[in-house]
Amino acid sequence: MKPRFSIVLALLFPFLAAAGPSAVAQSADPHDLYEQRCAGCHSEHAGEFVQESVLREDGKLMGRDGGMSVRALLSRGHGKLTPAQVEVVLAHFHEILDAGALFRDNCVICHGRAVLFARSHLGMKDGVLVGRYSDRAVDDFLKSHGRLEGSEISAVVKALSNQVTGETYRLN
């Protein structure tokens, strides 16, 4: 089936995208939401899905194949989210694109792909991202390494932590 045609189908028949247990009906956790409502039909990880299928144009999230506004798609019932859950998922997608762009612009040149760098050089210790051999906390280290500032550091640390644990989303 051609992607554009199936998007039309998905729009006309939102109940086709209505799979998923009602236990998540109230969930506000973006990882639970993605896993329960989207992963059945799309990539296992939100990060992969966003990198492959979502673009940002003028600050708006758009489907890469269909060129549709993601907000419009989800608001019409695709994935069967409540309006509040739509906001959670959209914010999460922005977060993924932000972290991906930061890593690409500031780190890739020396460290290569985030997922490989994180898995070979970093680890989690008591919930804190650390250098696997140096044992130093990455958020402290980045204050004087890599030219990120403020919230950019926490965004990248969060994304790299996700690469290490593999539980939530992958960057690239």
Q: Give the residues lining the site for ligand HEC (CB under 6 A).
A: 3, 6-7, 10, 16-17, 19, 37-38, 40-42, 53-54, 63-66, 68, 70, 73-74, 78-79, 81, 89, 106-107, 109-111, 121, 131, 133-134, 136, 138, 141-142, 145-146, 148, 156
Residues 105 and 59: their CA atoms lie apart, in Å, by: 18
Residue 69 carries which DSSP code? B
Residues 162 and 168: their CA atoms lie apart, in Å, by: 6
* Shortest reach from residue 166's CB to ligand HEC, in Å: 17
Report which of 148, 144, 145 is spatially closest to residue 102, judged by C-alpha positions.
148
* Shortest reach from residue 6's CB to ligand HEC, in Å: 4
* Shortest reach from residue 93's CB to ligand HEC, in Å: 8
Cβ nearer to ligand HEC, comparing 112 with 166: 112
What is the C-alpha end-to-end distance of the chain, expressed in Å? 27
